[in-house]
Amino acid sequence: MVISTLPSGVLNLLAANFSGLKKFKPRGTLLDVAYNPWPSDIAKVWSASGSLVISGKEMLIWQALAQIRIFKSGDVQLPLHNEDRVLEAMRAAAQQ
């Protein structure tokens, strides 16, 4: 897994260089914490190679869920009632 926590746009030149390489075949998953604009240039290149890319929005969703669990019960391990629906609503909101 490769985790990029760099600000949006920082990897654009690198992505442009990678996109011109026919032999560029990343292995593993890319978690790109930059989420605006999405997909980032590096996410596009990574995905075009057939490898999995995860948006920083997904990280934010799970961070928010953990915070809600703590606020609700004081226990980050205790799932929320209807947690699947909460996650679905968060993902829908993140797409807007």
pLDDT in tens, 39-90: 999 999 999 999 999 999 999 999 999 999 999 999 999 999 999 999 999 9
Q: What is the pTM of this model?
A: 0.80
Q: What is the Cα–Cα distance from 44 to 39, expressed in whole angstroms?
A: 6
**What do you get for the CA distance between the two ends of the chain, in Å?**
27
- Please count the structural domains in the chain: 1
Q: What is the Cα–Cα distance from 50 to 29, expressed in whole angstroms?
A: 10
Provide the residue range defining the domain that includes 31: 2-95
- In this structure, what is the dihedral angle of CA atoms 55, 61, 62, 67, given to the nearest 10 degrees? 150
Q: What is the Cα–Cα distance from 72 to 33, expressed in whole angstroms?
A: 27
What per-residue confidence (pLDDT) applies to 2? 95
